[in-house]
Amino acid sequence: MNSRVFYGVCFSASVFFSCNMPTWGQELSPRSSRLGFATASQQDRENLTWTARIESETDRQTAYLIVAAKVPAGGYLYSLTQPGVSATKIEVATNERFRITGAFRPNKAPRIEGDPESEERAETHIEDIEFHLPIQIAAGIEPEDLAIDVRINAQFCQDDQCMPVNNRILTAKLQKYRIPEGNSGASVPVKF
């Protein structure tokens, strides 16, 4: 069995560090949880959907792993930096084909309700959101051949009801090349 270790991208205030997580073979079913209650699947709760992709710079070594959530109207996800257990957590199955060079960052700042300095604040994303993780593709690896597995744990709320999204597993593959900043032009779609 090809066992890969998940390393969590953990956040505490502005501190980032890696956490050793269970090996790939020890994952939980996407429809169960350690607490024994039902969890949200990919399209539960009014079509909350998750996707993952890789976008590579034209140098073919610098890339971004992007995890996106399509948040339906009236719903929200907690941010990566939400205090407490409600925070969105994204874990990456690492291997020798790439290395992580930074932390996940959202493409939009979360909405903050309450005192920004308080542990009682709520940091939420109320619209579609992407979380970008910079990576370096190993020498000799073609971006088109790279696949990265991610595991998502989050809490999705809608209509005053919240439901955990536990152990949602996605596989990211290359979808397009990015034009480096400062150059004109749009991203180039990958042709297979």
Predicted local confidence at residue 60, as pLDDT: 87
CA neighbor of 91 nearest in space, from 83, 100, 78: 100
The single-letter code of the amino acid at 14 is S
For the chain, give every domain's residue range: 34-178
**Residue 138 tokens, joined:** 């190993």
β-strand 122-125 against 111-113: which pairing, if any? antiparallel
pTM for this model (two decimals): 0.71
Q: What is the pLDDT, as a whole number, of residue 157?
A: 93
CATH topology of domain 34-178: Immunoglobulin-like (2.60.40)
Please report the pLDDT score of residue 58 as a whole number. 83
From first to last of the 192 residues of the chain, give the pLDDT tens digit: 444 444 443 332 222 333 333 333 333 333 333 333 334 443 444 578 999 999 998 888 999 999 999 999 999 999 999 988 889 999 999 999 999 999 999 999 999 998 777 778 899 999 999 999 999 999 999 999 999 999 999 999 988 889 999 999 999 999 877 765 554 444 444 433
